[in-house]
Chain A
Amino acid sequence: MLAHYKRLLDRIGVIEQGLGIALILLIVVSITVQVFTRYALDRPIAWVEETATYAFIWMVFVGASLGLKKGRHIFIATFGSHLPARSAAAMRVLVWLLMLGTLVVLVQQGIKVMGVEGRSSTVSLPIELPRSLFYSLPLTLSSASMAFTTLWLLFDDLAVLRGRPSAAQSAVEPTVGPL
């Protein structure tokens, strides 16, 4: 059961990765095109900048939920590594529960915001799109995806509490800070 759930998460991760990489490429290409059109053609295309910004917002939220699947979110190692395995798992269970609550609130509020933002539309794109598509939608989807991942992490640590080995903790990539 848990293995099936994990496979589903992995599939979501593959989609997120593909989408995120495509978005980074879109950012690079659109900004390069913008510089080119400004200097070579002396006629900048106004909506390119907006495209890059929206692609960036989506990229961030997609990258954040992929980062959680890879265990790459930054936390500060305090005393967790000094605890016996089961106590550490118990501490993580508490953290996952709190995280799940936070993410559910974000999803819930995100949906509410979508309703409001959906009433105004984009400024300079050639086609008019609701603004919610670029602000609250990625936030909501990303929070939902992270909530599903957190649920798996929670089940995994509950299994540890029952004396089974952890699948998540052994798969964690080394955490390297971003700056």
Chain B
Amino acid sequence: MTLFMLFGLLGVLIVLQMPVAIAMALSSIVTITLTQQIPLSIVVQRMGTGLDSFVLIAIPLFVLAGHLLNRAGIAARIFDFAAAMSGHIRGGLAHVNVVASMIFAGMSGVAQADAAGLGVVEVNAMRKEGFDPAVAAAISAASSIIGPIIPPSVIMVVYGVMVQVSVAEMFLAGFLPGILMGGTLMVTIYWLVRSGRIVAPPVVPMSYPRLGRTFVRAVPALAAPILLTVGLLAGVATPTELGALTVVYAAGLGFLQRELSMRDVVDALRETLVTCGVLVFIIACAVPFGWIVATSQAPMKLAQFMMSISDNKYVILAILNVALLIIGCLMETTAILLIATPTLFPLILALGIDPVHFGIILIVNLLIGTLTPPFGVILFIMMDIAKISLAQMSRAVLPFYIPLFVTLLVVTYWADFVLAVPRLFGKAN
């Protein structure tokens, strides 16, 4: 009953287009006042103390680092280097797009930052070479969601804090799925070009002098993801500290190369303040919401119910994936993460699924949701950049669901693949 009220209210408020954070707070306040025996002030208190986490500070740091790197012209350098490296493969810049996104993913933790920063460079370059703008936008959209899978990743920080697993371990677990997603995207592009479904301009022959030249220009930019990865693997600093160091590095690099002005820095800070304020405020408002869900016994009942359908964890994971994909089409990513995690967690533990493994499944799933209409944030960003309609965008992105779903399947059913890197570096069981 309590939960019907909670979710019913939330649903109505969201349909009325109330901001998600306030909708969560209001539905929790009403539910607690009407059904719970505890004073409201205890729940409100948790909204403030719920943010008392050194790990969460990684969020503004990685967002700021992403904004600085975008403004320091690093996206263009990485793109040029990726073009020299993979421009000779059939499909040319389409592959470059994916490779550049994978490299950029190694220092940016937000898909939107990848889409809005590197995405502009990618779409413009591909259009200039004669690609259909819709195809260019679709590939840039699909490749930008690699950003939060290859570490660093803001969404992994949120998940890690919620279920209390090590964020470093989550980061390490993201490596192979991210590389797999990039690889399957490239295979799909190769197939689409070969079968004539994508009209690609003739390829540029491999040129080693060009490769060398662009590499030298890209070295300082490439050093960021490499240093970050090494720092993470060697465990010399926590993800939050690595975030701060990336900010310092990005700012220093931008100033030294004279590509970053004081104005850019202020813009980056302002943008970080608003995006992180809005995002983490949702997390604060989700604290009382999650508390009601957790104390209602409903997650336990859900776990029992699901286990009564099947005690095979692969069947249940399949059901969860389909359900999450449907919700992902309709809802905002952060909100789903904040609601789904406490709801599903007892089930996951009962099935004996590793929390890190489930985190990666959940995150890959939710990121696919950012590419699906009607509420696909990344689609909207790319439509705006490429100046195309939602219909054109949705049609062009269709074939790229195949590699994304393949990645989701592999990630779901091959736990050893996801956990290989954390195990190798002694972080997981």
Chain A contact residues, CB within 8 Å of chain B: 17, 20-21, 24-25, 27-28, 31-32, 34-35, 49, 52-53, 56-57, 59-68, 70, 72-80, 91-92, 94-95, 98-99, 101-103, 105-106, 109-110, 112-113, 116-117, 134-136, 138-139, 142, 174, 176-179
Contact = CB atoms under 8 A, between A and B. Distances in A.
B19 interface: yes
B244 A32 contact: yes
Q: Which of B22, B244, B284 has the most CB of A within 10 A?
A: B22
A138 B26 CA distance: 19
Contact of A179 (B40, B54, B110): B110
Contact of B112 (A64, A76, A179): A179
A24 B273 contact: yes
Contacts of B57: 27, 31, 52-53, 56
Contact of A53 (B53, B244, B269): B53
Given A27-B57, A53-B57, A98-B13, A60 B281 contact: yes
A179 B276 CA distance: 10
A121 B248 CA distance: 32
Given A52-B54, A53-B52, A176-B381, A73 B248 contact: no
B21 interface: yes
B266 A21 contact: yes
Interface string B53-96: 11011001101100000000000000000000000000000000
Q: Number of contact residues on B: which range applies? A: 35 or more
Given A27-B244, A76-B331, A112-B41, A67 B375 contact: no
Given A75-B17, A179-B112, A27 B61 contact: yes
Interface in B217-265: 237, 240-241, 243-245, 247-248
B169 to A, nearest CB: 20
Interface string B2-33: 00000000000111111111100110010000
A63 B248 contact: no
A106 B25 contact: yes
A116 B41 contact: yes
B334 A113 contact: no
A106 to B, nearest CB: 6
B278 interface: yes
Interface stretch (B42-50, B133-141, B298-306): B42-50
A56 B272 CA distance: 12
Nearest to B48: A135
B244 A28 contact: yes
B110 A74 contact: no
17 contacts: A27-B61, A53-B52, A53-B53, A59-B277, A61-B281, A72-B278, A74-B19, A74-B21, A76-B330, A77-B375, A78-B17, A98-B18, A98-B26, A135-B48, A177-B377, A178-B63, A178-B276
B274 A67 contact: yes
Contacts of B14: 75-76, 78
Interface of B: 13-22, 25-26, 29, 40-41, 44-45, 47-49, 51-54, 56-57, 60-61, 63-64, 110-112, 116, 148, 154-155, 237, 240-241, 243-245, 247-248, 266, 269-270, 272-282, 284, 330-335, 370, 374-375, 377, 381, 384
Q: Can you list the 9 inter-chain pairs with the closest CB atoms, starting with the nearest?
A: A63-B277, A135-B48, A64-B281, A178-B279, A73-B19, A31-B244, A109-B44, A20-B273, A67-B278
Contacts of B270: 17, 21
Given A25-B269, A76-B331, A63 B51 contact: no
A139 B377 CA distance: 28
A116 B45 contact: yes
Contacts of A79: 15
A73 B244 contact: no
Nearest to B25: A102
Nearest to A69: B274
A53 B278 CA distance: 17
Given A176-B381, A179-B148, A179-B154, A94 B16 contact: yes
A174 B48 CA distance: 28
Contacts of A177: 112, 332-334, 370, 377
B54 A49 contact: yes
Contact of B332 (A32, A76, A109): A76
A135 B52 contact: yes
